[in-house]
Structure 1
């Protein structure tokens, strides 16, 4: 078990160092004016396996730790339910505060350029991997209010359409924008890859579009 924990810690450290390397190379190439290289370097950060395999390995190691310790079979399993519910409330609170304070959905990490903004959009969320690992672990234990709600039959029935939700959210957003705002794909991308800039929606519209995406994904999955 100690070997598993040490291996997991080592992978998390390597993951962090990979992000540091990505940032260092970006800043070096930016200073030298190699913007063509930067385009493909950031693309690699999203798509190239060496940048992804470490996070995949962290997930595998988390699974090995779960199977080794089986926290769901321990008397202290309820504690993981508390951890899960606290983290869920934290996420909901963050969302509510963003709405309350009017934080724009399109908050940018950098105003130097859209390319640099995409760089930090790719790097910054990955720093949260060590935070969300306990959340995934606690969800696997299956205790607490969060796990109870997610195990309800209507929610479980949506699991088969989860990948369709991921694939179809962009078209649903685009068609919503076209029919409601009269704009379709008007914000062109400012660099050589990835999707265009996000469509501007307010918070209420975002919730409606999310619901429509789920319904459309379920329908498409049913057809297939």
Structure 2
């Protein structure tokens, strides 16, 4: 496999029916169940059952006409807002259904993920608090991005800087990773690969789930394409 191919989506194969079904859904770690069906064309309708609030909410969705794996989901009258919008990317490789991306509550950004098959790992013991420190990002993760399964290990270097390595089963060599925690939102972080010029334009931007500290989700930009990713903490 060519190195760049790992970050290239196969979105021309995505049809609206690929989004249909039931998902385990988590925004910033808060869990629930999302159900989607096609209403007309590239529009979807459904419902979201929030475990925390023990309530069901109406959901509408619109699939992007140009970026066929991108969807905007709206949960109506939810989370003390008239609506909360979620921009996510359906994984285009593999047979499973996973959507990962970002949302905003009032003015603060967060990550989310929706699994057609699977769920989040347990919360990190003793870390169920909204406060985030740089060391909360450190650890070993299973990284799922656009259907690829890899491993990434992160360490705290100094200040807001992180370092790490990325390993993909189809690559002979591991890749060095550098990260910088967002100065305004301490649960946000931007990552880039170093040491290989072919990945100089690849950028990851994601958000640590603030309470359980058990996952990071967001977007990968590579050239002119964007895909979703989620990193599930193993240790």
**Would you say same fold, with TM above 0.5?**
no
Structure with the bigger percentage of strand: 2
TM-score (norm 2): 0.23
Kindly name which structure, 1 or 2, has the bigger radius of gyration based on alpha carbons: 1
| RCO comparison, higher one (Cα < 8 Å, 6+) | 1
